[in-house]
Chain A
Amino acid sequence: IAGITQAPTSQILAAGRRMTLRCTQDMRHNAMYWYRQDLGLGLRLIHYSNTAGTTGKGEVPDGYSVSRANTDDFPLTLASAVPSQTSVYFCASSDSILGQENTGELFFGEGSRLTVL
Chain B
Amino acid sequence: GQNIDQPTEMTATEGAIVQINCTYQTSGFNGLFWYQQHAGEAPTFLSYNVLDGLEEKGRFSSFLSRSKGYSYLLLKELQMKDSASYLCAAMDSNYQLIWGAGTKLIIKP
Residues of A whose CB lies within 8 Å of any CB of B are 40-45, 58-59, 90, 97-100, 103-111
Contact = CB atoms under 8 A, between A and B. Distances in A.
Interface centre among A40, A45, A58, A103 (most CB of B within 10 A): A103
Q: How large is the interface on B (under 10, 10 to 19, 20 to 34, 35 or more residues)?
A: 20 to 34
Q: Say what secondary structure dominates the interface of chain A.
A: loop
Interface in B45-98: 45, 48, 87, 89, 91, 95-98
Contacts of B89: 42-43
Contacts of A58: 96
Interface string B1-29: 00010000000000000000000000000
A97 B97 contact: no
**When A and B form their complex, which 5 residue pairs have the shortest distance between CB atoms, in order from nearest?**
A42-B99, A99-B95, A108-B42, A43-B99, A103-B48
Nearest to B46: A105
Contacts of B43: 43, 90, 106, 108
A92 B57 CA distance: 24
Nearest to A3: B42
Contacts of A41: 101
A42 B98 CA distance: 8
B91 A104 contact: yes
Given A42-B98, A104-B97, 4 more contacts: A41-B101, A98-B95, A108-B44, A110-B42
Contacts of B30: 99
